[in-house]
A and B are shown apart, each in its own frame.
Chain A
């Protein structure tokens, strides 16, 4: 009897041990997706510089990297006046190993030297798997080399209060006609302005978020106008007409009360989020960057804390067949090929370039992942499988910032009634911008 009890106890202990070991193994298998090239004892010190004052998603990625290479240190520094400072920093004695690049820098002569000094990530020797990225956000240089890794993507559209739609028994509108009908019902239900947004000329503003993707789609459909647009030729202003007309119709139909937006939303970021969290706005026009600020502000909003609700990001349904998805890159990482510790710099870049790491970083920042897998953040689930013909990415158009600013100013003028659509179209190239 005693022997039997001993056997049972021993077997139980062995089983627990085996299960424990298996448990440990399972944990490791998750991390094993990345196979380190170098010894875990490798000592290193890397610096990353960028524009974000807080980069928690990178901090988290660094911590995960430490799991493979614990004997090193990666620091992140936010540079003041980044656009100028990065060039001097790269030329200086304390040049960063990894630096942030922004999409507008590509093609800008000022930054040619910066990209020239960046490691070619598409070099097969580096074994960086760029296939996990969406082609639309992979920015290659003129020679076809990829020197910058997209970290976050962004877009323009609207935050939708899913609880209101569920409560009112409505579906999120897919095209402009549906939008009008939904707005009618919401107004009937007491929502004065079914759609709201920041009445500014900035990218998260009403005009840009709602109409710019449509404008971009127009340009995508006829890229011959691109040159004139970039040269601010007044004749190119016609390209804005479809988008501005739809914007005007959107306002005139009463989908949005611009005056109310001006009165209740002071700026294009915090105020947008906090007003949306009040819980009585069915749809809030914004950019992906605004969406990225929602997670941290949930706790800051007393209204949302008291009455939390489910919200998702959708592209604005501005077109007759549906909305237009601007698949834009937010920021990119470049590796400094002159890094004093180039091997580990490239190893870190290789570590980051995976759907898991980029997905986790995007999920933490609540921006859109540049990878093909949108599944890590359900807020952006609506973008998964979005039709290609209504998706516009950086390869599809090359509109310079000056042209974009003209559109933003035109859109602002139209929705605020300071210009008609015709006036805005006619004045392209000379519309006053801030």
Chain B
């Protein structure tokens, strides 16, 4: 992952963490704020109760005064106004509280006070006619509840006060008549304010106000300007008349709180509640929101600290990561170097072994082809077997290398189980024969003939097991059993049961765990004369694991072993295999001496290889095809010929001194002064390690052929790349003995199929699939097909349905097919049907 992605991801994570912190903090703050507001409201209601109690107490004291005065009147001995005031003067304790008694029956609102005017100490007269404090009060019939005036200016001392009221009956001194008076217990507002100081509780900046219905204050805090709370609210909280009325109505009817703006446009909270037992008075507690609401700056500080912490952590982690990355890079580089060294070693080993092997196997092939001396043939056959074994060992190492590198893939194809068994038996029978072992076959005739799976790897697994069985069995027999049962879970699958039982040396129980370990060999000391790398079973087990199976082993030391596995395979064609013995015997019959697939005397091929013997092998192997072969022992020599002569196919070795195959082909491709601009160039190399094919194709080669050269593959490749007009049927040059075999074979004539398609790779694949049963000729166009048919005969012409009809093809032999999409089985089936071979 690139560094910037790591940084981005880290930043995203940091952002996410910060977001969560902010959200959490906000949620908590909101909860806390709600709790704070609720607590503030509670404080307000508590304060309201205390104030209400105080006011009730004051009213009660006023009532005591009035009751005393009224009881005198009720007793028939009413007090005069002076006597009443004199009584109150004695009864009241607090000097700042005064009692006013005024007449209300004549509307004069005049009377006397317990205290004198501050400007004239002899003047106790009082007059309320100039002060409109009784407008909303029913002063003639005070009913005994708390009756309170608004805050007003005490006319005698100019002090803002509130007055508690009650009616009294006093006697007019002059007339002796009983008159209705109003007694006022006048309490300075400051006295109430002093009491409120102790009610603030935990709130330092709370300001408690008492307002009446109109919003006029009895008392108010310093922040609430104006003489009227509602005016104040309206001044600093602009809103529509309807909204304003709703707010006022809420304050006057509910208990609760709300946010308002003060004169500085700051957010504030007011809690409001009506005063109990005191109609028309309300308590409003005011507090700046910042005191009540949790200060978010603390959250921000926390946030900044966390952010810095996370950023430090991020940087620290990045540094650590960079350091680790640096170390990992070094380690990876070392591992890569080691891997490259290993690859180089494998490549070199493969190349260096295959190069002489090519000569050995190639030359031995020539002996097998040309010699008629039984003894020589026997020796030669031994060389072939040994060469084949050595090649197997090399292939095992290469396979294991692929498995280790994770480059081994299972490639499933449709395959004929008979063909697979043929190959296996052919290989093992020979080895068993050589050791004098009895090789028994137990093949279930009901195995579906065409299956879908990785034929090559299955063959390799069974070959490894069979090879081991033959290798480790000195006498007795090797029994190869294969059967199938239908898969219950998947109806179009069968389970193949494969078992190889031998009468070999057996395996000790304690050695069993070594069986599938790479490079481990059982009883190394005892078996050191037996060839092998110790990779075979490990590879087989790996392949089976990749195919969803595994090898089971039952062994009795000294008596023999049985290796078995079950493998699920998809069935393509349920047609039973039938009696394999007959097929096998047919195969044995077919195991003939070499015969060239074709001759092409007009074809011209260039082969470039720095090893002279390899050039000889190449030339010799193709001797029977009569192809004209030019050889070059270096890249430069090859280029010179490349420029001079027209070739139909060029084979170019890779690892050559001075100018290797890659450099040579590069130079060839850049060369315009050559008749070989379109000539296919095939890499002929002893380098067979994984990934080489891609490498060569990328380098510009058309195809890739490994050494030691397999004659069949070489001829098939030539059939693919040589122009079809140059290919002719091989001449019959075998001996009488050969002829007799051929005659026997002729009883089952080989049909020639002419495949026409533009896709060369597809043609090659089809040819490989069908070559075992037919003589397959492939051409790229209708014109080439016509040209071929001028000189040759084909029993069936299969032409891609996508190609245009060239005209002139024998319609009776022509079959149009979509070759790309048809399965091998379907193709085989259709061919057989067409040729009337039956299944």
Contact = CB atoms under 8 A, between A and B. Distances in A.
B153 A54 contact: no
A78 B227 contact: yes
A94 B188 contact: yes
A81 B131 contact: yes
Contacts of A87: 119, 158
A89 B189 CA distance: 14
> What interface size band does chain A fall in?
20 to 34
B133 A80 contact: yes
B67 interface: no
Contact of A59 (B96, B156, B158, B226): B226
A179 to B, nearest CB: 38
Interface in A153-205: none
Given A89-B158, A92-B159, A81 B263 contact: no
A75 B222 CA distance: 6
A77 B151 CA distance: 10
B153 A80 contact: yes
Given A59-B226, A80-B153, A81-B130, A94 B190 contact: yes
B263 A93 contact: no
Nearest to A73: B222
A49 B160 CA distance: 10
A56 B153 contact: no
A91 interface: yes
Contacts of B225: 54-56, 59, 76
A111 to B, nearest CB: 11
B690 interface: no
A196 B269 CA distance: 46
Interface string B764-797: 0000000000000000000000000000000000
A89 B130 contact: no
Interface string A86-121: 111111111100000000000000000100000000
A59 B222 CA distance: 10
A85 interface: yes
A320 interface: no
A81 B155 contact: yes
B691 to A, nearest CB: 43
Contacts of A235: none
Q: Is the interface of B mostly helix, strand, loop or mixed?
A: loop
| Chain B interface size range | 20 to 34
B233 interface: no
Contacts of B156: 88
Contact of A93 (B96, B131, B231): B96
Contact of B226 (A49, A56, A93): A56
Chain A, interface SS category: mixed
A92 B117 CA distance: 9
Interface centre among B132, B155, B158, B226 (most CB of A within 10 A): B158
Interface in B215-253: 222, 225-228, 231, 235
Contacts of A74: 222
Interface in A226-280: none
Contact of A88 (B155, B227, B231, B235): B155
A418 interface: no
Nearest to B157: A92
A89 B130 CA distance: 16
Contacts of A86: 158
A86 B118 CA distance: 11
Contacts of B264: 63
Interface string B127-162: 000111100000000000000000011111111100
Contacts of A431: none
A80 B130 contact: yes
Contacts of B119: 87-88, 91, 113
Nearest to B129: A81
Interface string B90-118: 00000010000000000000000000011
Nearest to B156: A88
B634 to A, nearest CB: 54
Given A77-B227, A85-B155, A95-B158, 18 more contacts: A49-B158, A54-B226, A55-B226, A56-B235, A63-B263, A74-B222, A78-B227, A79-B160, A84-B130, A85-B153, A86-B158, A87-B158, A88-B119, A89-B158, A90-B158, A91-B118, A91-B158, A94-B160
Interface of A: 49, 53-56, 59-60, 63, 73-82, 84-95, 113
Interface of B: 96, 117-119, 130-133, 152-160, 188, 190, 222, 225-228, 231, 235, 263-264
